[in-house]
Amino acid sequence: MDKRIINNIDLLTSALASLSAENKWLDSKWFYDPAGSVLFEDITKLPEYYPTRTEVKILTKNIDQLQAYIPDGAALVELGSGSSTKTRILLDRFHNLNAYLPLDISEEFLKQSANELAFDYPDLIVDPVVADFMVPFKFPENHVNSSKIAFFPGSTIGNLESDKAIQLLASIHEWNQVSAFIIGIDLIKDIDTLISAYDDAAGVTAAFNLNILHRMNREIGANFDLEKYKHEARWNVEQSRIEMHLVSLVAQIVNIGATKICFEAGESIHTENSHKYSQQSFAKIAAQSGWNISKFITDEDDFFAVAVLQPK
């Protein structure tokens, strides 16, 4: 069966289940169609969006410390690689790597980035893997027994509920020959800075959030009127997380194929969480999934951290 048809069936099944719940929601993995991937890259360049530039500074300034964890001949495995911008910081200095394996759910975007990296790093094996890293996947056969370094930048771990975060960290812990895990973590800070990062003045994050409705219109026969929804970022203090919502401006009925979904005015679709951590709270979930924190490197404002985990 055509992979595109399979993806559409998966999106339809997921959307119908989550939008039929008492509190409507959508799985944030559906953000990343080609348009969504481009919009997210635009978000990372916004003045309000501190995580990307802060993480880049940490990686650049502390690259020699990170190099110490890279065994000769290892494969760098990046989860949710996107454009692999931060990866270049590592690839420029980790000369003892044998391979780079970017994993991403967006096949078109992944292959474009992988081709660019293969051209720029001709001495490095670049093997892209189209996969949802939240479910079991297979490494290319020639890398099954390779020494592996996991790389998960961008604080994407914060998009997961704690049980799912522990599940993901535990699954990576079980990779054959994984020796270290370099991961980006967004830290708890003042609310104004957090809200601005997820509701920018230019409206790029709003467009990114609304694009998931456009994708459902295009791919699974929905008829969302995007002008009847607004993007909203909320800070949930009890859960230490930013929440992204799409709020219905009016009472309305949306068709998804033959299914009718009713919205009240002011009712929202909860599209994404971004949990923020302290060193202590992250150490707790790392320990529960089989890892010790070997390094925890922050910027001068304690906005962001890059942690190096090693198996217990």
What's the CA gap between 124 and 96, in Å, rounded? 10
3-state secondary structure of 152: strand
Query: Given a cut of 90, is residue 68 above it in pLDDT?
Result: yes
What is d(CA 191, CA 228) in angstroms, rounded to the nearest whole number? 27
Average pLDDT over residues 136-140: 89
Please name each of the domains of the chain with its CATH number: 3-46+191-275 (no CATH), 62-189+277-311 (3.40.50.150)
Mean pLDDT of the chain: 94
Q: What's the pLDDT band for 120 if we cut at 50, 70, 90?
A: very high
Task: Report whether pLDDT(258) > 70.
Answer: yes
pLDDT (average), residues 179-206: 97
pLDDT in tens, 26-36: 999 899 888 99
Q: What is the mean pLDDT of residues 17-42?
A: 94
Which residue has better confidence, 5 or 54?
A: 54
pLDDT band at 83 (very low <50, low <70, confident <90, very high): low
- Residue 1 pLDDT exceeds 50: no
Q: Residue 80: pLDDT above 90?
A: no
Average pLDDT over residues 92-114: 90
The type of residue at 302 is D
Distances (CA, A) of 257 to 19, 23, 28, 263: 13, 21, 21, 16
Q: What is the DSSP string of 253-310?
A: EEEETTEEEEE-TT-EEEEEEEE-B-HHHHHHHHHHTTEEEEEEEE-TTSSEEEEEEE
Is the pLDDT at 2 greater than 60? The verdict is no
Q: Contact at 8 Å (CB) between 150 and 178? A: yes
Tokens of 263: 């919205």
The answer to whether the beta carbons of residues 158 and 183 sit under 8 Å apart is: no
Query: What is the pLDDT confidence band of residue 82, given thresholds at 50, 70 and 90?
Result: low
How confident is the model at residue 7, as a pLDDT?
Answer: 61
Are residues 284 and 42 in contact, defined by beta-carbon separation less than 8 angstroms?
no
Range 163-182 average pLDDT: 96
Q: What is the pLDDT of residue 104?
A: 87
**Are 235 and 194 spatial neighbours (Cβ–Cβ below 8 Å)?**
yes
Q: Convert the pLDDT of each residue in 268-312 to its tens digit.
A: 999 999 999 999 999 999 999 999 999 999 999 999 999 999 999
pLDDT digits (tens, 9 = 90+) for 233-253: 999 999 999 999 999 999 999
Q: pLDDT band for position 5 (50/70/90)? A: very low
pTM of this structure:
0.88
| Cβ atoms within 10 Å of 47's Cβ, excluding its own | 11
